């Protein structure tokens, strides 16, 4: 029996060198209520073209072609652009893989979620505790889930699922996200987390046919690309912090050891210590703000608003660090150890706060 929710959504499938399961899958989708299916041939060779020609004979199916392989991200964005222009009346888009992992029933489940009209990214989430899950899939997903939670504050149990759904209103947002290959899907999760778009898991069947050997995912190469995408901003954040730490220490030393004594403020005096410390921190903080704004988080919006937020955060971090060191000292912890523990913890908190609050783009802009 046809499903009304499915009739209002479009299925988008990027495909590279598929087998004869793909036409059968498209037929199953259309026979169970999906009026529209868009398949993007991502540069498959001539021997695979009969499969795509067969798909074109299926009512409601459209095939788009890349002359050469551009990657899954580009294939998805080619589909998004076509859907945005040619299908204005749909409720939303459901992306699925061409390797038989996603059942028609699960696609319908996501179509029903789209009918609710919420701004969200729905993820078809698999159970990686099952025996039929290949090690490369379970291990990779668990590692990226933990890292994503640490860096972006969202627990996503299946970061690499290809079964996703979102409203048609989010098409321009999805098209603008960077990435051309498998890392694009991780960029989507990061963009949603940074823009506070809910990421909602929807439990689906866990299917791996022939141990997922039909997948074009390369465990080492693509995992490294995904890791660079996830940790890239944090690595740049650490680099900016290191540069500003060296700058802070250098300016403080010059002021403390030479300039202030030359002006009559003796080394070790109250004024010498405070002027050198706060003067150096002021300069390094301004440089750090500029580097984080332009290089790390690439803020395009209101710099003045970000500046006062950054100042508030810096003062708060200093106060929390001092309070934490004092409290830990009360229970007998060495001051140097308490300082390291507090500053390390607050470093991660500062990164998250700058990402989610200080340098967060205004979605209405």
The rounded percent of the chain whose pLDDT value lies above 90 is: 62
pLDDT at 153: 85
pLDDT confidence of residue 16: 95
pLDDT at 362 over 80: no
**Alpha-carbon torsion (114, 115, 119, 120), positive or negative:** negative
Query: Would you say 243 and 295 are in contact if contact means Cβ atoms under 8 Å apart?
Result: no
Bridge partners (DSSP) of residue 42 are: 66
Residue 57 pLDDT > 50, yes or no?
Answer: yes
Return d(Cα 210, Cα 159) in angstroms, integer.
22
Q: Does residue 356 register a pLDDT over 70? A: yes
| Stronger pLDDT, 101 or 118, i.e. the higher one | 118
Structural domains in the chain, CATH included, are 4-217 (3.90.550.10), 231-358 (no CATH)
Q: Which pLDDT does position 263 carry in this prediction?
A: 93
Is residue 132 predicted with pLDDT exceeding 70? no
- Which range of 1-15, 287-301, 351-365 scores highest in mean pLDDT? It is 287-301
- Which band of pLDDT confidence, cut at 50, 70 and 90, is reported for residue 101? confident
- Tens-digit pLDDT profile for residues 244-266: 999 998 999 999 999 999 999 99
Q: Residue 364: its pLDDT value, please? A: 46
pTM for the predicted model, two decimal places: 0.78
**pLDDT tens-digit series, residues 201-231:** 999 986 655 554 545 455 556 567 777 778 8
The per-residue pLDDT of the chain, averaged, comes to 88
What was the pLDDT predicted at 104?
A: 94
Crossing angle between the packed helical segments 104-114 and 21-31, to the nearest 10 degrees: 50
Distance, CA of 45 to CA of 61 (rounded, Å): 20
pLDDT band at 17 (very low <50, low <70, confident <90, very high): very high
Q: Which residue has the higher pLDDT, 57 or 205?
A: 57
The residue-averaged pLDDT of 33-56 equals 97
Q: Is the per-residue pLDDT at 279 higher than 80?
A: yes
DSSP code string of 57-91: TSTTEEEEEESS---HHHHHHHHHHHHHHH-TT-S
- In terms of pLDDT, which residue wins out, 160 or 211? 160
Mean pLDDT over residues 61-71, rounded? 96
Res 27: pLDDT: 96
Query: What pLDDT score does 219 carry?
Result: 53
**What pLDDT band is residue 134 in, cutting at 50, 70 and 90?**
low
Closest CA to 9 of 123, 166, 163, 124: 166
Q: Give the whole-angstrom CA distance, residue 8 versus residue 108.
A: 11
Q: Which of 148-157, 216-225, 322-331 has the lowest average pLDDT? A: 216-225
User: Mean per-residue pLDDT for 3-31?
Assistant: 94
Identify the pLDDT of residue 333: 87
- Is the pLDDT score of 150 beyond 60? yes
Q: Which residues contact residue 282 at a Cβ distance below 8 angstroms, ignoring those fewer than 6 apart?
A: none
313 vs 132 pLDDT, higher one? 313
**pLDDT band at residue 329 under the 50/70/90 scheme:** confident
Which of 76-85, 134-143, 211-220, 274-283 is predicted with the least confidence, judged by mean pLDDT?
Answer: 211-220
């Amino acid at each position: 029996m046809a499903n009304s929710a499915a009739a209002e959504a479009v299925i988008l499938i990027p495909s590279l060198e598929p087998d004869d399961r793909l036409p059968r899958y498209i037929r199953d989708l259309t026979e169970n209520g999906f009026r529209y299916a868009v398949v993007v041939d991502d540069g498959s060779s001539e021997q695979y073209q009969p499969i795509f020609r067969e798909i074109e004979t299926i009512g409601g199916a459209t095939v788009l072609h890349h002359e050469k392989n551009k990657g899954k991200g580009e294939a998805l964005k080619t589909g998004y652009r076509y859907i945005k222009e040619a299908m204005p009346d749909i409720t939303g888009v459901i992306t699925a893989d061409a390797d038989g992992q996603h059942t028609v029933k699960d696609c319908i489940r996501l179509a029903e979620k789209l009918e609710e009209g919420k701004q969200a990214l729905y993820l078809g989430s698999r159970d990686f505790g099952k025996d039929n899950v290949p090690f490369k899939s379970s291990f990779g997903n668990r590692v990226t889930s933990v890292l994503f939670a640490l860096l972006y504050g969202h627990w996503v149990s299946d970061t690499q699922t290809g079964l996703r759904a979102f409203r048609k209103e989010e098409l321009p947002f999805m098209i603008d996200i960077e990435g051309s290959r498998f890392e694009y899907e991780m960029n989507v999760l990061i963009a949603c987390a940074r823009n506070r778009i809910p990421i909602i898991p929807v439990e689906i069947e866990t299917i791996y046919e022939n141990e997922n050997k039909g997948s074009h995912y390369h465990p080492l190469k693509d995992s490294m690309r995904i890791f660079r995408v996830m940790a890239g901003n944090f690595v740049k954040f650490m680099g900016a912090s290191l540069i500003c730490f060296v700058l802070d220490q250098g300016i403080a030393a010059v002021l403390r050891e030479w300039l202030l004594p030359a002006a009559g403020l003796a080394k070790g005096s109250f004024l010498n210590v405070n002027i050198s410390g706060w003067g150096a921190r002021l300069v390094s903080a301004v440089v750090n703000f500029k580097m984080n704004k332009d290089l790390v988080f690439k803020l395009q919006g209101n710099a003045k608003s970000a500046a006062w937020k950054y100042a508030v955060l810096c003062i708060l971090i200093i106060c929390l660090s001092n309070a934490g060191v004092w409290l830990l000292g009360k229970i007998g912890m060495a001051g140097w150890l308490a300082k390291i523990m507090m500053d390390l913890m607050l470093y991660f908190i500062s990164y998250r706060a700058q990402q989610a609050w200080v340098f967060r783009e205004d979605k209405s802009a």
